[in-house]
Amino acid sequence: MKSSEIRKRYLQFFEKHGHAVVPSASLIPENDPTVLFTTAGMHPLVPFLMGEAHPQGKRLVNVQKCVRTGDIDEVGDATHLTFFEMLGNWSLGDYFREQAIPWTFEFLTDSLGLDPKRIYATVFEGDDDAPRDEDAIAIWRKLFTDSGVKPDGRIFQYPKSENWWGPAGQTGPCGPDSEIFYDVLGDKDRTKHKHGWSGGEPCQPSCSCGRYVEVGNNVFMQYFKHADGTFEPLAQKNVDFGGGLERLTMILQKADSVFETDLFKPLVAEIEKRAGAKYGEEEATDRVIRIIADHVRSAVFILGDPRGVTPSNLDQGYVLRRLIRRSYRYGRQLGMEMPFVGALAEVVVRGYAEAYPEIEANRGRVLAEITAEEEKFGKALEKGLVEAEKLGRKYAEADVIPGDEAFYLYETFGFPREMTEEVIGKPVDVPAFEDRFKAHQALSRTGAEQKFAGGLADHSEEVTRLHTATHLLHRALRQVLGVHVEQKGSNITKDRLRFDFTHGEKMTDGQKKEAEKIVNEAIAADYPVRFEMMTVEEAKAKGAIGLFEDKYTKLGNDIKVYFIGNDPDYFSIEICGGPHVTHTGELGGFRLLKEESSSAGVRRIKAVVG
């Protein structure tokens, strides 16, 4: 069964059960400073899990592009990936466990034909915050029994560490979950496996040996986790299901890893060709091929996203840079002739053109950026290599390479620490290296990962206030500079807002003062803030500003429009996903910190509230 067929069957199955198909959201979350990438299909749905009505109803389904860099060190094995496609279905206060688990089971065994005898389930064992999931246990027992499989020894109970999902940030919706595992060894030669086919150590789904692969997870989102660590029942009980397309494809195509499925085959073949290596002969080579394949694919999706970012030393750009550089580095290890990352990326673009038209539409930019980064890195690397060898001679007698020396190579030649270690054959003093790194980088690698792992926005008050301030500023700039001012970008951290807009010249001091004054007057007026769902035509008729073409503020046919001020003379009407304060007075005050050039014809403002 082709991967495209699995996507299709999944959407069809849940459509048949009353779910509306929603598009995959962008990989780059909007105005969400606590997360770099969309890591699960539920991210854009948080307001609806919290009770806001979704215009497409209470049952949704989609296939979501996800990036999880937290797994980057595990990439290279059979199943871990930084980019993956998540099959997702949701009940927003509609059906619950008794419906969700049987549907998942039916989809897997009936629509996809998985063998019920190889399915295992896990449930939450209970603790002080929430009880044991007896309902899920009973449902699973019945499902197994009805399909002729003895339920004993198939349902495992684990604590929160295994069977609780969310919140993706520090606070937010979460709940106990029930994961579905597949015994991927089945009838295959289990002697290859460290637990053996018979008589081996008993092994459970929680074991990382590779025998059980998690293929899906039903989260029963019925709690809200507060900042103080307490859990409060949510007003509505939701289901958030996520299933891994690549892993299901691997199982259905009887492949030993996700890299041997139709999703990766052409790319792996291209790597083999360019490296003059053969996949499947030597574990160490396979690992390198898998890393290259994974990273190139992720880089293509990050660059090809409608909110695509470019390689940089910050945030998503930094992750992207790392993915491209690692691909390059591992490719060189296999002896590939540069430039090759771009050529590999082209294979990915071709393979995904149909399922993700945005990748094809952005083909030119994707390939140009990857090649530019590859060439830049390649040149620096050659120089760095010479320096690293010198360093090796200098520290010939030492056990470790000093952190600041390794950092110098990193800073000057972009030479990664791991590479210094590889070239010299000695470890670097990592804590010292990291200290230097953190002091010099706006965002350290560790920082990027923590931020990433931090997950979903907790929509903290500061962020919400800055979000509303952005609307006020946008409107003020149009008043001061003219209606040619349009939003080009917005980025909010908990400390400041950053707003990019079209305008040809540097703002004068007078203009800056004026814009600041207008925003402060709007704050002093304590205008009410509210939103309405409407069609694009209605929004245009009302004079709304904002990104009409941005399909991610769209929910079905409707878009969300925020009104600030009093009917009918609103101060601002703007298309936006939210969240916002309820009254502008909550902002306290507004101060413009900086106005500078962002790119040709685009200016950038940084400002704070309070």
Q: How far apart, in whole angstroms, are the C-alpha atoms of residue 158 and residue 431?
A: 35
Stretch that binds ligand ALA, among 7-15, 240-248, 504-512, 557-565 (CB under 6 A): 240-248
In terms of Cβ atoms closer than 10 Å to its own Cβ (0-12, 13-18, 19+), residue 593 is exposed
Q: How far apart, in whole angstroms, are the C-alpha atoms of residue 323 and residue 331?
A: 12
Q: Which residue from 90, 164, 165, 352 is in contact with ligand ALA, where contact means CB under 6 A? A: 165
Q: Residue 119 or 336: which CB sits closer to ligand ALA?
A: 119
Of 479-518, binders to ligand ALA (CB under 6 A) are: none
Q: How far is the CB of 413 from ligand ALA (least distance, A)?
A: 38
Q: How far is the CB of 173 from ligand ALA (least distance, A)?
A: 10
Strand pairing report for 570-575 and 558-565: antiparallel
Stretch that binds ligand ALA, among 238-246, 362-370, 529-537, 568-576 (CB under 6 A): 238-246
Q: Which residue from 130, 139, 219, 248 is in contact with ligand ALA, where contact means CB under 6 A? A: 219
Q: Which residue from 175, 242, 403, 455 is in contact with ligand ALA, where contact means CB under 6 A? A: 242
Q: Does residue number 260 form part of the binding site for ligand ALA (CB under 6 A)?
A: no
Q: Residue 159 or 186: which CB sits closer to ligand ALA?
A: 159
Of 135-164, binders to ligand ALA (CB under 6 A) are: none
Q: Answer yes or no: are the C-beta atoms of 220 and 167 closer than 8 Å.
A: no
Q: How far is the CB of 245 from ligand ALA (least distance, A)?
A: 13
Q: How far is the CB of 242 from ligand ALA (least distance, A)?
A: 3
Q: How far is the CB of 244 from ligand ALA (least distance, A)?
A: 9
DSSP letters for 562-606: EEEESSSSEEEEEE------SBGGGG--EEEEEEEEEETTEEEEE
Stretch that binds ligand ALA, among 236-244, 329-337, 398-406, 413-421 (CB under 6 A): 236-244
Q: Does residue number 240 form part of the binding site for ligand ALA (CB under 6 A)?
A: yes
Q: Answer whether the bond into residue 568 is a cis peptide, omega within 30°.
A: yes
Q: Residue 456 or 466: which CB sits closer to ligand ALA?
A: 456
Q: How far is the CB of 333 from ligand ALA (least distance, A)?
A: 32
Q: Which residue from 217, 257, 444, 487 is in contact with ligand ALA, where contact means CB under 6 A? A: 217
Q: Residue 163 or 491: which CB sits closer to ligand ALA?
A: 163
Q: Residue 241 or 259: which CB sits closer to ligand ALA?
A: 241
Residues 6+ apart with CB under 8 A from 502: 484, 485, 486, 488, 601, 602, 603
Q: How far is the CB of 482 from ligand ALA (least distance, A)?
A: 44
Of 97-126, binders to ligand ALA (CB under 6 A) are: none
Tokens of 163: 């069977």
Q: How far is the CB of 535 from ligand ALA (least distance, A)?
A: 30
Closest residue by beta carbon to ligand ALA: 242
Q: How far apart, in whole angstroms, are the C-alpha atoms of residue 257 and residue 182?
A: 13
Q: How far is the CB of 567 from ligand ALA (least distance, A)?
A: 39
Q: How far is the CB of 169 from ligand ALA (least distance, A)?
A: 13
At 101 the three-state DSSP class reads helix
Q: Residue 360 or 449: which CB sits closer to ligand ALA?
A: 449
Q: In Å, how far are 98, 99, 202, 215, 224 from 220, measured between CA atoms?
A: 11, 12, 29, 17, 12
Q: Residue 246 or 369: which CB sits closer to ligand ALA?
A: 246
Q: Residue 238 or 249: which CB sits closer to ligand ALA?
A: 238
Q: What are phi and psi of 290, to 5 degrees?
A: -65, -40
287-315 CB burial, b ≥16 within 10 A, e <16: ebbbbbbbbbbbbbbbbbbebbbebeeeb
Q: Does residue number 300 form part of the binding site for ligand ALA (CB under 6 A)?
A: no
Give the residue among 181, 232, 180, 239 at the shortest CA–CA distance from 211.
181
Q: How far is the CB of 48 from ligand ALA (least distance, A)?
A: 14
Q: How far is the CB of 114 from ligand ALA (least distance, A)?
A: 18
Long-range contacts of 475-480 (CB under 8 A, 24+ apart): 475/518, 475/522, 475/545, 475/564, 475/571, 475/572, 475/574, 476/514, 476/515, 476/516, 476/518, 476/519, 476/522, 477/501, 477/503, 477/515, 477/605, 478/545, 479/515, 479/518, 480/511, 480/514, 480/515, 480/518
Q: How far is the CB of 110 from ligand ALA (least distance, A)?
A: 21
In terms of Cβ atoms closer than 10 Å to its own Cβ (0-12, 13-18, 19+), residue 549 is exposed
Query: Which stretches of 400-552 are DSSP H helices?
Result: 403-413, 417-424, 430-440, 445-454, 461-481, 509-524, 536-541
Stretch that binds ligand ALA, among 105-113, 181-189, 237-245, 446-454 (CB under 6 A): 237-245
Q: Binding-site residue total for ligand ALA (CB under 6 A)? A: 8
Stretch that binds ligand ALA, among 105-113, 239-247, 260-268, 586-594 (CB under 6 A): 239-247
Q: Please name the residue that has the structure tokens 């400390």.
A: 495
Q: Residue 182 or 340: which CB sits closer to ligand ALA?
A: 182
Of 24-43, binders to ligand ALA (CB under 6 A) are: 40, 42
Q: How far apart, in whole angstroms, are the C-alpha atoms of residue 470 and residue 586?
A: 14
Q: Residue 176 or 242: which CB sits closer to ligand ALA?
A: 242
Q: How far apart, in whole angstroms, are the C-alpha atoms of residue 591 and residue 517?
A: 9
Q: How far is the CB of 41 from ligand ALA (least distance, A)?
A: 7
Q: Answer yes or no: are the C-beta atoms of 598 and 568 closer than 8 Å.
A: no
Query: Which residues are near ligand ALA by CB under 6 A?
Result: 40, 42, 165, 217, 219, 240-242
